[in-house]
Amino acid sequence: MNTTHSPFTFRNWVREQNAPYSIFTAKVEMDELIPELQRVFRIQGHQARLPLTGKLSDLQGVPVVKFKDNPWCVVYWEIGRAPLLREDCRTLSGKLKTKVMHLTEQDTSKWVEWFCYENQNDVEFAEWMIYDDSVYFESSLRRQPHLKKISPTEIRSALDQSIDELLAEQAIYLPGLDLNLADPQVERVDLLTLPEFPLGMKEFRDWMDLGHPEYAIFAIKAPIELVGPILMDQFEVKEWQKQSQSPKRIYEALPYDDKAYWIPMLQPTSNPWTVVYWIVDEWENLEKICEHCSATLQTSAIALEEEDTSGAFGYQIYDQGKKIEDAGYCDEFRFESDIREEPEFDNFDDSEWEVIRQFIHETFVQEGIYVPPLSMMANDPCFERVDFLRRY
């Protein structure tokens, strides 16, 4: 494909909009890509071969674009939010047996990250180490760019240059959403419709993978105003700050006190569940809390826990104070349930751990629970409420 444009004009367009984003591109034909997208992601609708009139920005949904004489399809997944799609893109590359590249800017700081996979293996990634404004870069495709002992501003510039070079080498073209669909380079445009609000725990788990994946969190199917008092009265929560509208990431918006431990308690928008991040970076048994909240409010509760040393990972569902399902993975899958049969997995050709993680994610989706990553902005429209609790 011949073009005089920069391969990444989308970056310039989206930065003018002052918006985070999460997009990806796959080296495969559109007719192979779409069915796999429908299996890997929650997709409500698909329109194939849209009329090539108007602009990409006119489309309401997720455009998927194929350019003439180019082997890549571009998926403009989200503009305005930046969900981590690393594991989904890795899975997609394995299913399609091809290359998939995920690009994202988590906020408006103009810090681009990318993750490139081939047949489910990492081939290159440049990951933002947000705590010290550095980059973790690995590649089997080329030499590492010079990213050490330079300022964050210089790093951003070096990353822009590096991703431009990679996209050019791979013949990937990523135009902005101001692209005219009548452009002679456009071969085909499909449109995907996503649910209005996300569900599941996959985004949270992917975010935890960036650091120390150990935690104990829970969700109660009740309004936040009913959950908070129980935690205050029965579980020694010392203080409750309500309705944060901070324009910061959730973990940055937590009150700072080196002698106290503050945790987020969230009510996702249009969702009946309250999510409590009881402890992150450590493990704790949540049985008493979930039993008590579930019995007191005569409702459902679910705990999600992971212990890094053993690799144990699982969940427990409670209803009106009684545990009705317990499942997880530590070297092997365990499952006990009063409400359904044990699942039979026929896809252990994939990573067994990944298959179990997908099952747990789908369980949260079925229950209607959304566990967001704490890297999201506290004022994101996905949240009806973001409160903070001081445990001690």
pLDDT for position 352: 81
Residue 295 is inside which H or E element, if any?
helix 287-297
- Mean pLDDT score, 36-47: 95
The residue-averaged pLDDT of 298-315 equals 92
pLDDT of residue 1 exceeding 70, the answer is no
Instruction: Give residue-wise pLDDT tens across range 240-293.
Output: 999 888 888 899 999 988 889 999 999 999 999 999 999 999 999 999 999 999
Give the per-residue pLDDT at 264: 98
Q: In the chain, pLDDT over 70 holds for what percent of residues?
A: 97
Mean pLDDT (the chain, rounded):
92
Tens-place pLDDT, residues 363-382: 999 999 999 999 898 988 89
Averaged pLDDT, 24-46: 96
Residue 251 falls in which region: left (phi positive, over 0), alpha (psi -120 to 50) or beta = alpha
The string of pLDDT tens digits covering residues 320-363 is 999 999 999 988 899 999 999 999 887 655 578 778 888 999 99
Is 2 a residue whose pLDDT tops 50? no
Q: Which two tokens stand for residue 311?
A: 């690799």
55-79 residue pLDDT tens? 999 999 999 999 999 999 999 999 9
Q: Give me the mean pLDDT over the 27-41 stretch.
A: 96
Report the C-alpha gap between 156 and 153 in whole angstroms. Answer: 5
Per-residue pLDDT tens over the stretch 146-175:
887 788 889 999 999 999 999 999 999 999
Residue 336 confidence (pLDDT)? 97
Q: Which residue has the higher pLDDT, 248 or 122?
A: 122
| Helix, strand, coil percentages in the chain from 3-state DSSP, rounded to 5 | 25, 30, 40
Say whether pLDDT at 13 is over 60.
Answer: yes
316 in helix, strand or coil?
A: strand
pLDDT of residue 3: 45
Residue 158 Cα distances to 23, 102, 142, 235, 343, angstroms = 20, 18, 15, 49, 48
**CA atoms of 38 and 32, how far apart (whole Å):** 11
pLDDT at 4: 44
Would you say residue 47 has pLDDT above 90? yes
At 32 the pLDDT is 98
Least confident of 12-21, 180-189, 306-315: 306-315
Tens digits of residue pLDDT in 174-184:
999 999 999 99
Q: How far, CA to CA in Å, does 326 sit from each of 35, 220, 296, 366?
A: 32, 16, 21, 16
Mean pLDDT of the region 29-47: 96
Find where tokens 């997208």 sit.
37
Q: Is 368 exposed, middle or buried (0-12, 13-18, 19+ CB in 10 A)?
A: middle
Mean pLDDT of 6-13: 89
The structure's pTM equals 0.88
Joined together, the tokens standing for residue 302 give 């679910």
